[in-house]
Amino acid sequence: MAIAEKYLIPTAMKASGLSEGDLTITRDGIESLIKHYCREAGVRNLQKHVEKIFRKAAVRKVRGELPPGGLVVDAANLAEFVGKPIFTTDRLYDQTPVGVVMGLAWTNMGTAARRDRARRGAARHRCLRRLLARGLLVFGQAARRCTLRPRSRTKAAAATASRPA
């Protein structure tokens, strides 16, 4: 946040030829930019997005479309300048349903919460055993509901087994 306010924004402002009053990026806008567009460890991607905002504002100024008080970029109109958010929320479910296990996965952007739907029968057991072996299964409510149990016999299988030969 401080790097964006003290270095990236003034540098992009100077490079684009805009003055102080032409464009203002609010703290809320910077937070939203970081949260929804730039999650990597460094600031290079954040710098690219800030420069993109200033280039679009410079084009508006040249065309005469800049409002008299200057342009204010906040969380509400950020998508107008940098497009749709790349990262949305990590929450898939408000409450994890039965049959879904939660674990962690490694990605290029770091670790991410991962939800796997448990499968029926032997495939389900293999999936859960694999998650347990790798340490990916998170124990708790979801884990209690997704315990390793032998596959129950279906009604058709039970009826076939009980028939005389």
pLDDT tens digits for range 125-140: 676 677 677 666 555 4
Number of domains in the chain: 2
Give the C-alpha separation, 51 to 63, whole Å: 18
Residue 51 and residue 113 in one domain: no
**24 forms bridges with which residues in the sheet?**
72
CATH number at residue 45: 1.10.8.60
Select the more confidently predicted residue: 151 or 10: 10
> Would you say residue 10 lies in a domain?
yes
Residue 69 and residue 15 in one domain: yes
Beta strand 23-25 with 110-117: parallel, antiparallel or unpaired?
unpaired
Residue 75 and residue 35 in one domain: yes
> Would you say residue 163 lies in a domain?
no
> Would you say residue 91 lies in a domain?
no
Beta strand 23-25 with 71-73: parallel, antiparallel or unpaired?
parallel
Residue 63 and residue 13 in one domain: yes
Residue 113 and residue 65 in one domain: no
Print the domain residue range for 135. Answer: 100-155
Q: Which of 157, 12, 159 is nearest to 82 (CA)?
A: 12
CB-CB contact of 114 with 102 (8 Å): yes
Beta strand 100-107 with 71-73: parallel, antiparallel or unpaired?
unpaired
Question: Could you tell me the end-to-end alpha-carbon distance of the chain, in angstroms, rounded to an integer?
Answer: 76
Residue 65 and residue 126 in one domain: no
> Would you say residue 119 lies in a domain?
yes
pLDDT value, residue 153: 47
> Would you say residue 126 lies in a domain?
yes
pLDDT value, residue 24: 94
> Would you say residue 115 lies in a domain?
yes
Give percent above pLDDT 70 in the chain. 60
